[in-house]
Chains A and B, each alone.
Chain A
Amino acid sequence: MLSIIVFLPLVGAVLVLLAGGRGDRPDREPLVRNLALAVSLATFAATLWLWARFDPSSGDYQFVEQHAWIPAFGIQYFIGVDGISLFLIVLTGFLTPLALLSSWESVHKSVRNFSFFMLALETAMLGVFVSIDLFLFYVFWDAMLIPMYFLIGVWGYDRRVYAAVKFILYTMAGSVLMLIAIIGLAWSYAATTGAPSFSLIDLYNVELTRQTERWMFLAFAVAFAIKVPLFPFHTWLPDAHVEAPTAGSVILAGVLLKMGTYGFLRFAFPLFPAAALEFAPWLGLLAVIGIIYGALVAMVQPDMKKLVAYSSVSHLGFVVLGLAATNMQGIQGSVYQMLNHGVSTGGLFMIVGMLSDRRHTRLISEYGGLKAVMPRLVAAFLIITLASIALPMTNGFIGEFLILLGAFKWHSTMAAFAATGVILSAVYMLWMFQRVNYGPVTNEKNSRLPDLTPREWAQMVPIVAMCIFMGVFPKVFTDPMEASITKVIDRVHSREAAVVEKTAPGFRLPASGSPNLASADTARPGASPGPQAPSELRTPSPEPRAADND
């Protein structure tokens, strides 16, 4: 079933190509659009079904499918969903139809190819989130670049080619090093067991020397840091976001960036726990720099889209900070914030798209006084803006609060600096909002802009509803995550117990003496003598259900 969800958009993409007819006939445009939207809605429905059937009490992989793919190298088609990936999958399903809607009026060049790439991209994104086999993960991770490249390069704004090439080269440069580390990991596994494996569950058991572990962690970390993007690897992001078409920006900000943070949480931290803890302060430091730097740069942007793009750097800094804290609140907040950022920044990009569809400019100075002209659009704009700056009762508040809570427990100085980011975000967002929407209508061109069309209502209502719903009922989302997050934390810190003795005190974190506070009752594997303690020994089992007994 999970495979069907993952590949449904791809099937839709092929159907779209066929429906477009020879030579991409313009008269088929409505058919193509509706077909693509229908496929993406069906996928969204299927992801909701997944959520409904998900067992929140278990931290294991569910809906597991496991087949041999390249047996000679222990590569499997091995997919499953746990509490961490579940909501990212739902988010992907949620944003894709909205992104397609946002391109309804603005994309007219070769709609068939556009819809094809959007749907192909969705399959790749879902694939990244469900893969348990590292090789499979890498295949989806890299395959995703191609549709995004075309979306930016063909349907983007003026400097689109530059932005598209920069995007693909940057991301690839990071990920190929990860490929080498993945291969190295598989061979290390083969050194102890005789046969290589790329399954995440098998690779948890690899014994690495401290030095190797550091290098491999760094290789993974660079790949993910570029994707996040963590300061100073963020320079591709403003270009890509600004030049991409609205639908591309929504997906880029909403889902693609999350792959970086998801990668840290799913792969880099649990696979290399000792190195992760060793480098966590550095990650945290870069995250805090990113929070403040992103906010400051966002403040001075004259272009709304660029402002939102830099705000992503700042927001994603929070996510990484929460991960670096490696405690329950921090990670839960991070995962929650990934979803929030997807919803609210996706929404902001859509609003910028609506404005620039009407006026063909994104400069803040071109606007002013929109509140009087289109009150409904501005109302939606306001709610999403408030969600983005984390006002209580909106989704952003829950995420950032949890992250700061977790970060404070771990490293209070960093948390204090990060908290200034919350204030800064209020400054740049509200200032922008004020300049665009309040005051008198200074520009004659703005005086008779149409308000929300029915199609735009359909985009805004779900976003606004989610901003508030996630702010009021966070437990709906946090509860199913908890078991899986506990597992990750246990993994990271149980390995730590084994390396404490071997590590010089200088390497230790100042405040990590009391890790894992929230999940203290879930009991770290007692007096685990080392990474190969019997309770940790898992052998790959032919029975798929047993294999996820991680």
Chain B
Amino acid sequence: MTDYAAIIPLSIIALSAIAAMVAEAIRRPGERMPIGGFGLIGCGGAALASVFLWDSDAQSFGVIRADNFSLFINIILCTVGILTMLFSNETIEREDIPGGEYYALTLFALCGMMMMAAATDLLVIFVALEILSLSVYVLTGIRRASAGGAEAAFKYFLLGAFSSAFFLYGIAFAFALSGSTRLEQISVALSSQPGGAPPTLAWLAVGMLAIGFCFKISAVPFHMWTPDAYEGAPTIVTAFMSTGVKAAAFGAFVRVFLSTLEPLQAQWIPLLSGIAGITMILGTVVGVVQTNVKRMLAYSSIAHAGYLMLGIISANNTGKAAVLFYLLTYAVSNLGALGIVALLGSAQNQHDELRDFAGLSKSRPGLAALMTVFLLSLGGFPPLAGFIGKWYIFAAAVQEGHYALAIIGVLTSVISVFFYLRIVVMMYMTEGAEAVRPRLPGTAVAGLTLATIAVLYLGVLPTRVLDLALASISTIF
């Protein structure tokens, strides 16, 4: 039986992407058109559809499943989408980016992300992964005149294609193990085999799939592309891919590893533990020496991937819900911070070096204060969203007795505070050479307001969302 309900959110996003493309096609050269509006409508509609689908556990074609887990991720992704659209206007006009292309690609990427988190077949996950990756590769290099952007896009594309091959190879091994690419059937086959799965095949399947995921979430040692891609891409694209891609990849990561591959825990828990440990340490330690804010936030996003992996390693309900909650807190904090970096840039100067932030508290006290809030949230200070997120992740790790990883986690988050505070030091405690007075369009104000409210709400009154996160994992696993 074919039920279309589960793909409604995806379809809304896809339709809005098509609308953006059509609008671009009929736009006369030089004519201004609020194409971003389609994106906002699409994201809003998809979010609304996800809310209506809550608890329905609809399935489409047997491969897309709108359980509460994927709906929660949909809502995170819609938040990411809306905030990105709100911040994009300024960049597009300033950098002379073709608006229609930009919005259409962003929306197609979002569509791929939603599909990735909702897919219950490894091949569909792969297709979704490719949809989102191709869109993001192009977005990275969308400033055609910029050499840095082209380099970043090319690097990202090459390494990304490489990792896709690994992922595909992993699917093949999983098929060899179980005779299917459907997640449930793999799970059944794995747990019904007497004496467990053949170790070599199991190792290969788990390892290859893990490499594919680790690449997308930029875990060490598959993180090499991240700093370059994040630095070379337009800042707003950096914000979009650091939060959106992560949310989608972690969604699929959790689904594949914690439900389907659960019988192989003995194989993958030590593997992922090692990766998570190195990821947290390298992300923060290398972040400390960065002088470019976008690179710094790139390394910080690597470290955050490490924290998120703790949720998967914990392999309990707390951990799964913690991943969902953390993705949301990270999304709003990071989009807020990078959104401000994007607003500060100008056509000549990206304004993303650390020293460019000197004296910002004088020239733009409001932006400096909000930037501080977002950075402190990323650093995990109460009473902001990031603190609750980190607490939740560490609570999950401690619950399963992963004390060593939890201690690495908290200590690296102290180190990360050091580099977040470097920006604060620049803004508040260093005299600026020139006063930067960026234009602040209404949409950006709306975006900043939304992100700030989210950061405070999730930090002070996290109960509702925490309960939702807990409820969304109980329906599937």
Contact = CB atoms under 8 A, between A and B. Distances in A.
Most B Cβ at <10 Å: residue of A68, A160, A168: A168
B406 A168 contact: no
Interface in B448-475: 462-463, 466-467, 470
B47 interface: no
B410 A153 contact: no
A183 B398 contact: yes
A176 B403 CA distance: 13
A72 B466 contact: yes
Interface stretch (A136-144, A291-299, A423-431): A136-144
Interface residues of A, number: 36
B394 A180 contact: yes
Given A160-B429, A161-B425, A180-B406, A23 B365 contact: yes
Given A138-B382, A165-B418, A176 B425 contact: no
Contact of B395 (A73, A143, A145, A154): A73
Given A180-B398, A183-B394, A184-B398, A165 B383 contact: no
B154 interface: no
B462 A70 contact: yes
Contacts of B430: 161
A172 B387 CA distance: 13
Contacts of A169: 414, 417-418
Interface string B209-252: 00000000000000000000000000000000000000000000
Given A23-B365, A70-B462, A187-B398, A173 B414 contact: yes
Nearest to B382: A139
A186 B407 CA distance: 16
Nearest to B384: A143
Contact of A176 (B383, B414, B429, B470): B414
B407 A177 contact: yes
A145 B384 CA distance: 13
B326 interface: no
Interface residues of B, number: 30
Q: Helix, strand, loop or mixed for chain B's interface? A: helix
Contacts of B403: 180, 184
A150 interface: yes
A139 B387 contact: yes
A110 B63 CA distance: 59
Contacts of B208: none
B417 A168 contact: yes
B129 interface: no
Contacts of A72: 463, 466-467, 470
Nearest to A180: B406
B360 to A, nearest CB: 13
A146 B376 contact: yes
A153 B383 contact: no
Nearest to A145: B381
Contacts of A165: 418, 421, 425
A440 interface: no
Most B Cβ at <10 Å: residue of A143, A183, A187: A183
B429 A172 contact: no
Interface of A: 23-24, 68-73, 135, 138-140, 142-143, 145-146, 149-150, 153-154, 160-161, 164-165, 168-169, 172-173, 176-177, 179-180, 183-184, 186-187
Given A165-B418, A186-B395, 11 more contacts: A23-B365, A24-B365, A68-B463, A135-B391, A139-B382, A142-B382, A154-B428, A173-B411, A179-B394, A179-B410, A183-B398
Name the 10 nearest CB pairs between A and B, nearest first.
A176-B410, A139-B382, A183-B398, A172-B414, A153-B429, A143-B382, A173-B414, A183-B395, A161-B429, A187-B399
